[in-house]
Amino acid sequence: MKFAVIVFPGSNCDVDMFHAIKDGLGEEVEYVWHNQENLDEFDAILLPGGFSYGDYLRCGAISRFAKAMTGVKKAAEAGKPILGICNGFQILTEAGLLPGALMRNKHIKFMCRTEKLRVENNQTMFTSDYEAGEIINIPIAHGEGNYYCDEETLQSLEANNQIVFRYENNPNGSLHDIAGITNEGGNILGMMPHPERAADALLGSADGLKLFTSILKAWREANVINA
């Protein structure tokens, strides 16, 4: 399986993501600069955290216009897994690939610490290696991770089981403790916590690795024919 890590000016978690795939998962991965439009050679697209374009205007507001996002949207329409973490989540909402928006944390402070998440939906290509209701330890590092959407969108997210992760102790004021959501098709996941920073026990937790193994398992089931 071949992964692309999209690198925007200001990305700073691209190396963490690359390490999680290459060394944690043992799969092929490449850095892809933001001005590369054709992503057809890749099986999965990863949008890392950071401060793309300095977070000017709004987080992710400029990145949505990058050439690479044309390829991301094409991959999304083809059903390929798209994962946006932290700033990547913000980019996905700005691009209209996920509903809602990320606002300033409720205490207007940048937060960097490990949080407990609850796996709300383990029936996705990103969470099948987790148990339903499993509590996992995943770091956060954001100043604008307060998820918000209108009531109609919230009802839709709940009804379609699109809320994948919730905070056990909501650190940022996110609506209904939301930490991660998918699109209706289930192939796009956006989350504020950083599973790539919890992909090795040496980092304090390996709970994030199951997210990446879930992606690999789903891809193999869809693309590899067993003899």
Contact 60, 84 (CB under 8 A): no
Closest CA relative to residue 17, chosen from 152, 150, 223, 215: 215
Q: Check if 194 is active-site.
A: yes
Closest CA relative to residue 153, chosen from 144, 166, 162, 145: 162
Structure tokens at 68: 């690479």
Q: Check if 86 is active-site.
A: yes
Catalytic residue among 27, 34, 59, 86: 86
Beta strands in 25-150 (DSSP E): 28-33, 44-47, 82-85, 101-103, 111-119, 135-142, 146-148
Catalytic residue among 94, 115, 144, 196: 196
Catalytic residue among 13, 34, 115, 194: 194
Q: Which residues are catalytic?
A: 86, 194, 196
